[in-house]
Amino acid sequence: MTSRPRQVELAFDPAAIDRKWQARWEQDGLHKVSDDDPRPKWYEMTMYPYPSGDLHIGHWYAMAPADSHARFRRMQGYNVLHPIGFDAFGLPAENAAISRGIHPYEWTISNIDNMRRQLRSLGASYDWDREVITCLPEYYRWNQWFFLKFFEKGLAYRAKAPVVWCPSCQTVLANEQVLNGTCERCGTEITRRDLEQWFFKITEYADRLLDFTGLEDWPDKILTMQQNWIGRSEGVEISFDISAVRDSDGAALEETEIRTFTTRIDTIFGVTFIVLAPEHDLVPKLTSAKNRQAVDDYIAKARQTSEIDRLSSDKEKTGVFTGSYAVNRLNGERVPIYIGDYVLTTYGTGAVMGVPAHDARDFIFARKYKLPIRIVIAPIEWDGKELGDAYLGDGFMTNSGAYDGMTNDEGKTAIAIDLEKKGWGSRTVSFRMRDWLISRQRYWGTPIPMVYCDTCGVVPVPEADLPVLLPQDADFKPTGESPLAANHDFVHTKCPKCGEDARRETDTMDTFMDSSWYMMRYLDPHNEDEPAGPKVLKQWMTVDQYTGGAEHAVMHLLYSRFFTKGMHDMGLVDYDEPFLRLFNQGVILGADHEKMSKSRGNVVNPDDFVGKLGADAVRCFLMFIGPWDQGGPWSDVGINGTARWLNRVWDIAARDADKLGDTSVNADVVRDTNRLLHQTIRKCHNDLDRFKFNTAIACLMEFTNHLNRVWADASIDAETWRECTSKLLLLLAPMAPHMTEELWEMNGHPYSIHQQDFPTWDDDLAAEDVITLIVQVNGKVRDKIEVSVDIEEKEAQALALASPRVQPYVQGKSVAKTVYVPGRLVNVVVE
């Protein structure tokens, strides 16, 4: 409350104008989108918000530029669908509800009411009849419907697995929701649990998800992140012989081999040990009586180790010997079998062959436990000495029997082929991505439509019985078990198959289920028979432009791609990518260049600025700060500049053009003004097309400045003035929809400015006839001369050399050559 920034005084009342036009547009249904429209369609979607209760400046930063772009497309002649909805299920509603003793439904719906009002204050061109709210049965019944379809197709399955658990949220999480070993939502360190849960088989689509050919314009960053997340590795699964191992009774084991996965089969002759994950099934059987105690202790310790520590790559590599040996079939060597927690049970086969000479982790492990290190890929210029570190590069095969002398690349293929012939292994592909765990032990989500019957097993709820309603009266406080399990009426049901007593599944679905298909529901939000009708799907999908934050790279954006491909394969839709183009906006920061947070006290409340300066000023300032994909700091004083400019636009557009007499009109200035108009239209159009709002606004500012100058000396005629000001309003309309509508009306144009065509330009009129020719000597600028745009090279060179400011630099020196860039410069190279 100390140094209050000086306040811009406006010549108009933005708040009144905002209200006036928002009401009028609403009343006229200006933003209603018809399915029967002859114009080409453009589906432009922005990621729907979570109804946290308040539309903060980050929401504005996501929504306002997106709306401006949609408006721009509309003026270009497209039938634009730019819908909005609410991602209304999820933990925060429950947590907030628990702490306040209010039902999640009440909390969510009242937040939505408030945010709807705030979204309207932004002047966004949403068709509210298409609004989607995911926590309503009209919506989530289709989650259940899709779940049944995926189940039928074998893409949804139930399995016991070591899943991620958040002790604070008291629920399992998907792998994608773990950040550095902590819960993505609350930051609590995660643990693991062995639970039976529902999964979606996203891994079955791993290869297809890596194929980005159907995506026209996605940021490389997102594609890279998805690629890394999926983590495809080509390698070989090779087994080691354990048929010689005997159990405590001296009997042979049921299993005769250990399967391992490697990407470096060329190093197979360098194997000096095997390491199994502590959780590996074979561990108890392979552990000798003598080593039992040490192994059990190690496993117990591994269990206690936190996920963060366990996953840290800096951690010391530890392990214990099981007492058993396996045989490397390629050279008949016996190697010790260890367990070690640097081997993950969830990747590959949960077992690795230890090649210390050529793997950094195995190297450290071998040093620690004094295991032999045998070089089998000779480094280029290797002096035959011991290695100080694992050698990971290429080289020639050595100590590798028949393969000696091959390059390791050749060796890779040769060994793989031989292994396959002998049946000891096969080429295979491993993925880092795991199946999508969708069960949640929480209340505020879509009930999973499954029933457990003692006689029939797992039985899907028949489609006709959907939706399985989320009971209103559940005790939703988290206990670690789903709150629905405590609801007697919900749990106890009849088996759809045999009619006997049965129990319902009490877990709910991950909310990323909701967002995996919401783009379809906007097309047909009131359809009671299907998620969306085939006719509207055909007409609108896929989404032409999607905008939103990059934080969803490997969650929502990956899930929805998978979901779409699944639907495609079931014949439910005929496209297999949901979003053709993607644009990620950056993050809006506090004035201190830090992330906004209450504890820092740098949070900006948009409502304050909207009330004083108007929605248009806030919209334009957010777009003017910098490139949209870059984000940037908010500035309480910076916005005054944008407000001042809009005020000047107001002033200019409100002037009476007839006050410009003929007496001082200057034909050159009229021509220059016309040229600038056409250049401005061109630049503004091209910038808006590519989301470069900051430079689009800058060029409109330049045009505004020019108009002010020519008004001051009355050097242009009234007609030109009217032409320029009305085009200026049209160019600005997508970004400042309220005040341009008001000025449009004041100037006697027909309602609405937002239904007009975006101005077009004429390249001939935009072309310069005089240019500034840069004259350089050895690349340094020495003079600038005004010349005709179509000047000949010879003449340009002559003018350059004749320049008195160039003369001193060329005098007495020989001109080696001159470089002429038409319309740009002449560079004289001397000596």
Q: What is the 3-state secondary structure (H, E, C) of 188-210?
A: CECEEEEEEEEEECHHHHHHHHC
Q: Are strands 436-437 and 257-262 parallel, antiparallel or unpaired?
A: unpaired
Return the number of the residue (471 or 823) whose C-beta is nearest RNA.
823
The correct pick among 241, 581, 627, 723 for binding RNA (CB under 7 A) is: 627
Q: Is 277 in the site for RNA (CB under 7 A)?
A: yes
The correct pick among 155, 625, 676, 730 for binding RNA (CB under 7 A) is: 625
CB 565 within 8 A of CB 209: yes
| Residue 631 CB neighbours (<10 A) | 17
| Residue 129 CB neighbours (<10 A) | 12
Stretch that binds RNA, among 206-214, 419-427, 528-536, 643-651 (CB under 7 A): 643-651
The correct pick among 147, 218, 261, 609 for binding RNA (CB under 7 A) is: 261
Return the number of the residue (579 or 645) whose C-beta is nearest RNA.
645
Q: Is 224 in the site for RNA (CB under 7 A)?
A: yes
Q: What angle do CA 159, 501, 146 make, to 5 degrees?
A: 45
Return the number of the residue (570 or 787) whose C-beta is nearest RNA.
787
User: Looking only at residues 66 through 125 of this chain, which bind RNA when binding is defined by CB under 7 A?
Assistant: none
Return the number of the residue (612 or 648) whose C-beta is nearest RNA.
648
Q: Is 262 in the site for RNA (CB under 7 A)?
A: yes
User: Looking only at residues 571 through 610 of this chain, which bind RNA when binding is defined by CB under 7 A?
Assistant: 593
Name the minimum Å distance from CB 315 to RNA.
4
Instruction: Write the CB contacts of 338 (distance below 8 Å, at least 6 apart in sequence).
Output: 273, 274, 275, 276, 319, 320, 321, 322, 354, 365, 369
Return the number of the residue (605 or 772) whose C-beta is nearest RNA.
772
Q: Is 702 in the site for RNA (CB under 7 A)?
A: yes
**Residue recorded with tokens 């979204």:** 119
> 337 vs 260, 274, 595, CA distance in Å?
12, 5, 50
Q: What is the DSSP letter of 130?
A: G
Which structure tokens are listed for 200? 């979606």
Stretch that binds RNA, among 113-121, 221-229, 497-505, 529-537 (CB under 7 A): 221-229
Name the minimum Å distance from CB 262 to RNA.
3
Number of residues that bind RNA (CB under 7 A): 91
Name the minimum Å distance from CB 797 to RNA.
13
Name the minimum Å distance from CB 27 to RNA.
34
The correct pick among 31, 69, 73, 317 for binding RNA (CB under 7 A) is: 317
Q: Are strands 182-183 and 132-133 parallel, antiparallel or unpaired?
A: unpaired
User: Looking only at residues 671 through 700 of this chain, which bind RNA when binding is defined by CB under 7 A?
Assistant: 692, 694-695, 697-698
Name the minimum Å distance from CB 787 to RNA.
12
Q: Is 506 in the site for RNA (CB under 7 A)?
A: no
Pairwise CA distance, residues 185 & 683, whole Å: 42
Name the minimum Å distance from CB 359 to RNA.
6
Which structure tokens are listed for 277? 């994950």
Q: Is 641 in the site for RNA (CB under 7 A)?
A: yes
CB 258 within 8 A of CB 282: yes
Stretch that binds RNA, among 90-98, 306-314, 374-382, 655-663 (CB under 7 A): 306-314
Which structure tokens are listed for 439? 């069960």
Return the number of the residue (126 or 338) whose C-beta is nearest RNA.
338
CB 697 within 8 A of CB 620: yes
CB 270 within 8 A of CB 357: yes
Q: Is 233 in the site for RNA (CB under 7 A)?
A: yes
Smallest CA-to-CA distance from 151 within 449, 421, 419 is with: 449
- The binding track of 525-554 with respect to RNA, each residue x by CB under 7 A or -, is -------------------------xx-xx
Return the number of the residue (25 or 562) whose C-beta is nearest RNA.
562
Residue 405 — left, alpha, or beta (φ > 0 → left; ψ -120 to 50 → alpha)?
left
User: Looking only at residues 1 through 20 of this chain, which bind RNA when binding is defined by CB under 7 A?
Assistant: 5-9
Pairwise CA distance, residues 640 & 646, whole Å: 10
Query: 693-712 and 615-624 helices cross at what angle (nearest 10)?
Result: 110
Smallest CA-to-CA distance from 347 within 276, 299, 404 is with: 276
Please give the helix or strand (H or E) that residue 113 lies within, else none.
helix 104-121
The correct pick among 103, 193, 361, 749 for binding RNA (CB under 7 A) is: 361
Name the minimum Å distance from CB 720 to RNA.
19
Question: Phi and psi at residue 568, in whole multiples of 5°?
Answer: -60, -45
Instruction: Write the CB contacts of 660 (distance below 8 Å, at least 6 apart in sequence).
Output: 711, 714, 716, 717, 718, 721
Name the minimum Å distance from CB 777 to RNA.
9
Q: Is 344 in the site for RNA (CB under 7 A)?
A: yes
User: Looking only at residues 549 through 568 of this chain, which bind RNA when binding is defined by CB under 7 A?
Assistant: 550-551, 553-554
Return the number of the residue (343 or 437) whose C-beta is nearest RNA.
343
- The binding track of 389-428 with respect to RNA, each residue x by CB under 7 A or -, is ----------------------------------------
> 235 vs 208, 353, 359, 425, 805, CA distance in Å?
19, 13, 15, 10, 69
Name the minimum Å distance from CB 367 to RNA.
13
The correct pick among 116, 503, 648, 749 for binding RNA (CB under 7 A) is: 648
Return the number of the residue (153 or 315) whose C-beta is nearest RNA.
315
The correct pick among 312, 605, 788, 807 for binding RNA (CB under 7 A) is: 312
Return the number of the residue (244 or 789) whose C-beta is nearest RNA.
789
Q: Is 359 in the site for RNA (CB under 7 A)?
A: yes
> 515 vs 50, 219, 289, 387, CA distance in Å?
11, 20, 53, 52
- The binding track of 160-199 with respect to RNA, each residue x by CB under 7 A or -, is -------------------xx-------------------
Annotate 657-682 with DSSP letters as a single string. Answer: GGGS-STT--HHHHHHHHHHHHHHHH
Q: What is the 3-state secondary structure (H, E, C) of 520-588?
A: HHCCCCCCCCCCCCHHHHHHHCCECEEEECHHHCCCHHHHHHHHHHHHHHCCCCCCCCCECEEEECCCE
Q: Is 821 in the site for RNA (CB under 7 A)?
A: yes
The correct pick among 14, 51, 632, 759 for binding RNA (CB under 7 A) is: 632
Q: Is 633 in the site for RNA (CB under 7 A)?
A: yes
User: Looking only at residues 772 through 811 of this chain, which bind RNA when binding is defined by CB under 7 A?
Assistant: 772, 774, 776, 778-779, 781-782, 784, 805
**Residue recorded with tokens 């340094």:** 780
Return the number of the residue (158 or 310) whose C-beta is nearest RNA.
310
Q: Is 647 in the site for RNA (CB under 7 A)?
A: yes
**Residue recorded with tokens 């969510």:** 108
> 452 vs 31, 324, 476, 491, 500, CA distance in Å?
47, 43, 22, 10, 11
Which structure tokens are listed for 723? 């032409």
Return the number of the residue (180 or 605) whose C-beta is nearest RNA.
180
Name the minimum Å distance from CB 376 to RNA.
14
The correct pick among 148, 343, 375, 519 for binding RNA (CB under 7 A) is: 343
Name the minimum Å distance from CB 396 to RNA.
20
Stretch that binds RNA, among 200-208, 245-253, 352-360, 602-610 (CB under 7 A): 352-360
**Residue recorded with tokens 């560079």:** 827
Return the number of the residue (503 or 644) whose C-beta is nearest RNA.
644
Name the minimum Å distance from CB 19 to RNA.
23
Return the number of the residue (437 or 451) whose C-beta is nearest RNA.
437
